[in-house]
Chains A and B, each alone.
Chain A
Amino acid sequence: MKMRRRYGAFVALVATATLVASGCSSSSNDSGSESAGDLFKNPVTLNWWHNANQAGPLRTHWEKVANDFHNLHPTVTIKITAVETNDLQRNRLPAALLSGNPPDVFQAWGGGEMVDQVKSDYLKDITAQTKSEVASIGAAASIWSVDGKQYGLPFGFGIEGFWYNKDLFTKAGITAPPTSLDELNAAVTKLKAINVTPIALGAGDKWPAGHWWYNFAVRECSADALKNASTKQNFDDPCFVKAGEDVKTFIGTTPFQPNFLATSGQTGAGSSAGLVANGKAAMELMGAWNGGVMQTLTPNQKEPTFLGWFPFPKVPGAGGSQDTQMGGGDGFSCSKKAPPECVEFLKYIVSPDVEKAFAATGSGIPTVKGAEAGLSDPVLQTIAKATQDAGGVQLWLDTSFGANAGTAMNDAIIAIFANKGTPEGVVTALKKATAR
């Protein structure tokens, strides 16, 4: 399954804002809605669109969730449509929302995109009914809210970091995972010495290269600078140029496999995830879904046992937070016209037992408290702990800035990787992007 990056907003700052008193218990009947009396009385069908289109544990999990909910509430029938992420997000959902006949429940990644959907009045305000869920999820839930109102609930959330091959690290004489950029550079040198590609990069898909810039931006930029960029489209802080310079310097050490412009991120054994999964490269900077992707790319369809994980290292001398991490999650929203049962279904998806079962699929890190006990994968356990320990989580910048500015930014970043663009070019592109 491909749980791709794409999630919500600036979590660190709003962590406290969502911790509202949770008066009602989660599973009891809905207290705020005027149609509460009709709930589960009339037969309804919920059309549910999610992105687990490939056979695997997650798709099976969603099928079970739909069946269990129907057994619990026989008046509700759930019809599933599974579509590949990019197609779902870019083509199918916008067209369905525009047509006035959208699915009732659909995948939502929060951030700039959700702001657009709310502006067009497509989403159901679920603030009143989901107070206890939001409290349990904590800071991450704010990514699925706009102007203090909740429009979706995340079921998975985690930070990004380096997925690495412990065996190759040992062979290269690297004793501990790098914690600073200098140590990362030293590791790259040692891996080259034993003739291993140090870092795999799926630059062909653009965003995996973009993530390098995002992480450097988090290290270089103050929380205020990042917030102004997300909310006011203000990119004047010199830290954004600095991030580009860091990327350029790092590319100069040739840590990536050759021809990375033609390497995709997730498709086939020749993709960046495939290179790491099959022992051809030592590490990859990628989100928490990477284990699930790698499973599908190995000969035995299992996640390699040699995998380890460490967060993006500190950058000495950089002016931003050194313990904030880049991350995001997956959630679901209800369309404006969906029956009230839809909200109950959203709440069911993030109920502790269902979240535990989600954790057991190894497809991501659950969001509600206590569900992380369901995680059996050691790498995901590491990421879950690191997510909790992070000083803050910055949502993927492309999601945070919205599709338009996000893509323009990725295009300009890829130009740096192709040695055609400059660090200043990224800032120029961001400023221009909102014009079309």
Chain B
Amino acid sequence: MTVSYLLLVRADPAGPAPDTAFRLHGPADATTLRDGGRTITDGPFADLAEPVIAAEVIVAEGLDGAIQAVTAHPPVAEGVVELRALLDEEDDAPATQPAPTGRRYLLLHALPAERPATRAPTKSLPEWLADPRVQASVLAGARLEETSDDTAASVRIHDGETTVARGDAAELTDAIAGYDLIAAEHLDDAIAIARPHPTLGFGVIEIRPLVWT
């Protein structure tokens, strides 16, 4: 069965550039939105020794196929590749793609393990998707499957060896519940697009600028 997977590469940001579709600027260039978007903070939502530095979406024959694709051609010489199956639903991205101008940002949506009793006011997902500003910006996006042995894996690459762990082995990415790739003029534009997203009712959105020329 053909499934799409989000591939998140975690490695030393000062190391060689990863071989992936999208490279991200380092974690110090991240900005995180919390609390219904009212709180804007410097840096990623979680501090990791090996931060996320690159991302890609691949299509494979099940999780084994995805693991095989990564181990056959690791995108970095040292680091971890986390694999997460995308929910099989309509793509967030609108049919008409925005003009390829401006900058690109990856929005990583993360949710806490325990949902709090109250949530900050946000739009619903359909409302957010219907917003003209969102329509004009989102290039791709999806929610992720809950982590399980069939939907998530991490591949560690060290000294030319790969080690595979399935399921909840990931220390970070199990908090990540979805992503959006957006085009925006600048950071304030990206913040304005992300702010009404339902994730911010109780979760956080990390905004990562792509290395983009």
**Same complex:** no
